[in-house]
C-alpha cells in the first residue's frame, strides 16, 4: 500500500512540475531571461507563425467517418492514440543504468514519449569475438550484470546491449525499430578488434607501416603517413589486392547474416553511415576495388555495394536509409547519384549534434547557430533528393548545470523540434543520449533528457509537452444528420468512441493520413 501511495504522489509531483514549467516562445514570454533578446529576434513572432502554419499544412489532415448506426445527437469522442510522425530515441542503455527503478523508468519512455527505438548493430561490439555475434542475451547483457558492475564505462559492450532482447522488448511494446548501423568506415567505433586478421600477413605489415596507430584512431588524418597521402588509387589497389577482394564478401556476409536473423522485424536500417565526405572529396571512385577513405583503407564503392546487398537480403517492405552529419549539398549529390545507379534509398538521415556546451550557450546569447534560416537551408538541400528525411541523431547539451542551463537546453530543443516538425519532407526526429553520463566515454555528458538518477530535466518536459499534448488531437464532435463526422487532426491512429442507436458504446480505430 505504501508503494502505491508513493507512486501516486510521485505521479502528482511530476504532473505538477510539468504544469508549472513554461517554455517561452518570445522575448516577452521569457520573463526570466533564459535566452537573450538577440536569440528571440532570430526566433521572432513571424518565424513562430510560419512554423505554426507549416505544421498545420504538413502534419495535419482532414478526417471523415460515416457512422450509420450512431444514436441521434450523440457525441463522438476522437482520441489520437499514436503518431504517424516518428519521435524516436536510441535504446543503447537498456538495463545498463545500475538500478532496477532507473531501468524501469527508462523502459517506460518507449511507448509514451518515444514511438521508435534505434537498436545498435555496431560491428565492433556486436561481434566482439570473430564469428560469434551477440544477438542472444548472455549473462554479461543482463540487468543483474550491470547492477553489479562497478566500471560500466570501461566495459567493451557499454551502450551495446545484445540485440535479441531489444527486438523482443520493442515488439512487446508495439514500438517501431530502426537498426544502426550496417556499414561504416569508422575504425574507432565500428571495426572489430579482430578486423586485421582478415588481411594477409604481407598486407598487415604494409598497413601497419602506413597507419602506425591503428586501430584506435578516428580518421585517417589522425595517423596517416605521408606515403599513404601520396599514393594513387592504383598503387593502393596493388598494395592491398587480397583486401580488395575479401572485404566486399565479408561485408555482404555481415548484412546477409543480420537480415536472415531479423528479416522484417526492424522496420528500417541505416545501411550506410557517414560516407558523404568521402564522396565530396572524390574518395569513392565508382566500380573500383579500393577507396582512399578519410577513415583510411576502405574497399571501393562501399556505399553502393552496401545498399545493393541490403536490398538483396532484406524484405521489400523494410526501409533502407543512408545517414550522415555532412549537412552540405554534396550529401544530396551523393544520394541522387546512388539513386541514379539503381540503389534503393527510402529515407535520408541527417544528424544534428550540439556536443559543445559553449555552442549552446552561444545560441542562447544570439549566435547564428542552427537558426531558422540555416535549418531551412540544409533541409532544402536534402529535400532535393525527393525522399523522406529523418533527423536521425539529435544532441543538445545543457550549457551549465543550473536552472538557466537546463532551461536553455529545453528551449533550444523545443524550438528546433517545432521547426523540424514543420518541414514537409521530414518524417521523424530521434533524440540520441536520453540519460546524462550515458554517452560514449569522453563525450559531453549533459545532453540527456534525464539526470543520471533518472530525474526529469526541463528538456524532457519540453518534448513531452509537444509530443503528447500540443501535437495530439483529442476532440468531441457531433455528426450531421447522415451520421457523417468530420474533423481535422494530426496524422496518425485514432480511437473513435460513440453510442449506437441502442445506446451501446462502440469503438473503432481510424487512420488519418
Q: Give the pLDDT of residue 108.
A: 98
Q: Name the DSSP class of 455.
A: P
CA triple 277-280-284, angle to 5 deg:
85
Residues 6+ apart with CB under 8 A from 49: none
Q: Give the pLDDT of residue 214.
A: 67
CA distance 493 to 513: 9
Cβ proximity of 258 and 314 under 8 Å: no
Pairing of strands 474-477, 484-490: unpaired
Q: Give the pLDDT of residue 188.
A: 85
Give the distance, in angstroms, between the CA of residue 399 and the centroid of all CA atoms in the same chain: 22
Q: Quickly count: other Cβ atoms within 10 Å of residue 384's Cβ.
A: 13
Cβ proximity of 140 and 79 under 8 Å: no
Give the distance, in angstroms, between the CA of residue 503 and the centroid of all CA atoms in the same chain: 46
CA distance 306 to 465: 39
CA distance 211 to 188: 14
pLDDT digits (tens, 9 = 90+) for 316-363: 999 999 999 999 999 999 999 999 999 999 999 999 999 999 999 999
CA distance 372 to 378: 10
Of 43-47, 53-57, 70-74, 321-325, least confident by mean pLDDT is: 70-74
Q: Name the DSSP class of 139.
A: G
Residues 6+ apart with CB under 8 A from 168: none
Taking only Cα atoms into account, the Rg of the chain, rounded to an integer number of angstroms, comes to 25
CA distance 51 to 416: 10
Q: Give the pLDDT of residue 456.
A: 98
CA distance 438 to 431: 13
Q: Give the whole-number percent of the chain exceeding pLDDT 70.
A: 94
Q: What is the mean pLDDT of residues 115-138?
A: 97
Residue carrying the nine cell digits 537546453: 409
Cβ proximity of 419 and 53 under 8 Å: no
Q: Give the whole-number percent of the chain exceeding pLDDT 90.
A: 85
Q: What is the mean pLDDT of residues 31-44?
A: 97
pLDDT at 1 over 80: no
Q: Give the pLDDT of residue 443.
A: 73
**Torsion of Cα atoms, 500 then 503 then 506 then 512, to 10°:** 50
pLDDT at 91 over 50: yes
pLDDT at 375 over 90: yes
Q: Give the pLDDT of residue 445.
A: 78
Mean pLDDT value across the chain: 93
Cβ proximity of 106 and 454 under 8 Å: yes
Band the pLDDT of 10: cuts 50, 70, 90. very low
Cβ proximity of 207 and 298 under 8 Å: no
pLDDT at 227 over 80: yes
Higher pLDDT pick, 224 / 15: 224
pLDDT digits (tens, 9 = 90+) for 188-207: 889 998 988 889 999 999 99
pLDDT at 136 over 90: yes
pLDDT at 78 over 60: yes
Q: Name the DSSP class of 457.
A: P
pLDDT at 444 over 70: no
Amino acid at each position: 500500500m505504501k508503494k502505491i501511495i508513493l507512486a501516486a504522489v510521485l505521479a502528482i509531483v511530476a504532473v505538477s512540475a510539468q504544469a508549472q514549467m513554461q517554455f517561452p516562445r518570445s522575448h516577452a514570454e521569457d520573463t526570466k531571461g533564459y535566452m537573450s533578446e538577440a536569440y528571440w529576434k532570430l526566433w521572432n513572432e513571424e518565424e513562430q507563425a510560419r512554423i505554426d502554419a507549416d505544421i498545420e499544412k504538413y502534419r495535419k489532415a482532414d478526417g471523415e467517418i460515416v457512422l450509420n448506426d450512431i444514436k441521434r445527437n450523440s457525441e463522438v469522442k476522437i482520441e489520437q492514440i499514436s503518431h504517424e510522425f516518428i519521435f524516436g530515441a536510441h535504446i543503447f542503455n537498456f538495463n545498463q543504468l545500475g538500478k532496477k527503478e532507473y531501468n524501469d523508468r527508462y523502459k517506460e519512455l518507449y511507448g509514451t514519449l518515444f514511438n521508435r527505438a534505434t537498436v545498435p548493430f555496431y560491428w565492433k561490439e556486436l561481434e566482439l569475438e570473430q564469428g560469434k555475434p551477440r544477438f542472444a542475451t548472455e549473462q554479461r547483457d543482463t540487468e543483474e550484470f550491470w547492477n553489479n558492475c562497478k566500471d560500466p564505462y570501461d566495459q567493451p559492450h557499454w551502450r551495446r546491449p545484445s540485440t535479441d532482447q531489444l527486438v523482443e522488448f520493442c515488439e512487446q511494446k508495439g514500438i517501431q525499430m530502426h537498426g544502426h548501423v550496417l556499414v561504416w568506415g569508422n575504425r574507432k567505433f565500428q571495426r572489430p578488434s579482430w578486423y586485421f586478421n582478415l588481411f594477409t600477413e604481407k598486407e598487415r605489415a604494409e598497413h601497419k607501416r602506413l597507419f602506425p596507430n591503428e586501430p584506435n584512431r578516428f580518421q585517417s588524418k589522425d595517423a596517416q603517413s605521408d606515403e599513404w597521402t601520396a599514393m594513387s588509387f592504383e598503387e593502393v589497389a596493388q598494395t592491398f589486392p587480397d583486401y580488395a577482394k575479401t572485404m566486399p564478401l565479408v561485408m555482404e556476409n555481415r548484412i546477409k547474416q543480420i537480415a536472415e536473423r531479423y528479416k522484417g522485424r526492424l522496420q528500417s536500417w541505416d545501411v550506410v553511415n557517414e560516407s558523404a565526405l568521402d564522396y565530396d572529396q572524390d574518395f569513392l571512385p565508382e566500380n573500383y576495388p579500393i577507396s582512399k577513405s578519410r577513415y583510411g583503407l576502405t574497399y571501393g564503392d562501399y556505399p553502393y555495394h552496401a545498399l545493393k546487398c541490403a536490398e538483396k537480403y532484406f524484405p521489400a517492405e523494410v526501409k533502407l536509409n543512408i545517414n550522415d552529419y555532412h549537412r552540405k549539398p554534396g550529401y544530396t549529390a551523393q544520394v541522387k547519384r546512388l539513386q541514379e545507379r539503381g540503389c534503393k534509398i527510402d529515407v535520408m538521415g541527417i544528424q544534428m549534434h550540439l556536443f559543445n556546451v559553449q555552442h549552446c550557450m552561444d545560441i542562447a546569447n544570439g549566435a547564428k547557430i542552427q537558426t531558422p534560416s540555416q535549418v531551412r537551408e540544409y533541409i532544402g538541400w536534402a529535400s532535393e533528393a525527393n525522399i523522406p528525411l529523418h533527423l536521425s541523431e539529435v544532441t543538445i547539451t545543457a550549457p551549465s548545470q543550473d536552472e538557466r542551463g537546463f532551461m536553455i537546453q529545453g528551449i533550444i530543443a523545443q524550438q528546433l523540434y517545432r521547426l523540424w516538425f514543420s518541414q514537409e519532407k521530414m518524417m521523424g526526429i530521434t533524440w540520441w543520449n536520453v540519460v546524462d553520463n550515458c554517452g560514449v566515454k569522453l563525450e559531453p555528458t549533459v545532453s540527456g533528457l534525464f539526470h543520471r538518477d533518472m530525474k526529469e530535466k526541463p528538456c524532457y518536459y519540453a518534448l513531452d509537452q509537444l509530443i503528447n499534448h500540443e501535437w495530439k488531437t483529442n476532440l468531441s464532435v457531433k455528426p450531421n444528420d447522415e451520421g457523417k463526422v468530420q474533423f481535422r487532426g494530426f496524422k496518425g491512429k485514432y480511437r473513435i468512441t460513440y453510442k449506437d442507436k441502442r445506446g451501446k458504446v462502440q469503438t473503432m480505430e481510424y487512420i488519418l493520413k
